Structure 1
């Protein structure tokens, strides 16, 4: 679009092609002649669809996360990292502690992180992967009828 930034008619057509069904209905509902420039179009669009912008989550969001009763480490880890990636700022140093605090006190990974702390996210991810593999093996064995203590 930057190449055609001087051609406002073309910019409006390209803009239209990037819209989804709801936005296209909005666009089709505009009165003829109500928009006089591409800048006005983008401002009008922005004010109409401002609620579609995702606000970054505060750091406190990580503190409120915990593994759900009966949930797998994989599910908790996926939710945690999805939330972590939506937080604006560099809080890698907090990731280790907030992830650990979200685990149940009796969880093997929490005990491991307490007894032998990690110092980087890479180390944390490696430790999580190790425990996820163990958990997956246990779930597979349980599905085969083996009794897991």
Structure 2
């Protein structure tokens, strides 16, 4: 159909050939002459069938991210990553900076980012994963020490 974009009458005639049974039933119920242009046909179609369009979150939702009391770093980073992916636009630099600001000032990872910042999301996620791995190893090491002495 893209080849015929300049010919509105032809587009209106070709349009039904692209429809499936459900949408074709809708098309068949349109009153003759109720739409005056292909643009109106597109709007009517969109109003009826495009219901699952993605609604992006505003940048504010990323700016207000903080680690909630009692929640883990994993929960916070997962929520941050999900929110970042639900924002339309290139806000990678903002996402990297706001992740650090959402951590408590005394958090070791925040201190680490203060000393050496991550410059993109890939570096941010790698640093978070390394931090989680170190913490996991420390917890496992303490558990082993208790078993050996006990």
| TM-score class normalised by the smaller sequence | 0.5 to 0.7
Q: Which residue of 2 aligns with 1:102?
A: 102
Following superposition, the deviation at residue 146 of structure 1 comes to 3.0
Stretches of structure 1 that go unaligned for 5 or more consecutive residues are 17-23
Q: Which residue of 1 aligns with 2:63?
A: 63
CA distance in 2, matches of 1:119, 1:9: 50
Deviations 1:19-42 (A, max 9, x none): xxxxx6xx6984953277997665
Measured at CA, do residues 55 and 31 of structure 1 come closer, stay the same or move farther in structure 2, by a change above 3 Å?
closer
CA distance in 2, matches of 1:121, 1:12: 41
Q: Which residue of 1 aligns with 2:17?
A: 10
TM-score normalised over the length of structure 1: 0.64
Rg larger in structure = 2
Measured at CA, do residues 49 and 33 of structure 1 come closer, stay the same or move farther in structure 2, by a change above 3 Å?
closer
Measured at CA, do residues 72 and 42 of structure 1 come closer, stay the same or move farther in structure 2, by a change above 3 Å?
farther
Moved over 6 A (4+): 35-41
Following superposition, the deviation at residue 73 of structure 1 comes to 1.7
Following superposition, the deviation at residue 2 of structure 1 comes to 7.0
**Conserved? CA contact 1:73–1:135, under 8 Å:** no
Measured at CA, do residues 49 and 137 of structure 1 come closer, stay the same or move farther in structure 2, by a change above 3 Å?
farther
Provide the aligned C-alpha RMSD in A.
Answer: 3.7
Following superposition, the deviation at residue 138 of structure 1 comes to 5.7
Following superposition, the deviation at residue 114 of structure 1 comes to 1.3
Query: 3-state SS of the aligned residue for 2:99?
Result: helix
Q: Which moved more, 1:43-52 or 1:112-121?
A: 43-52
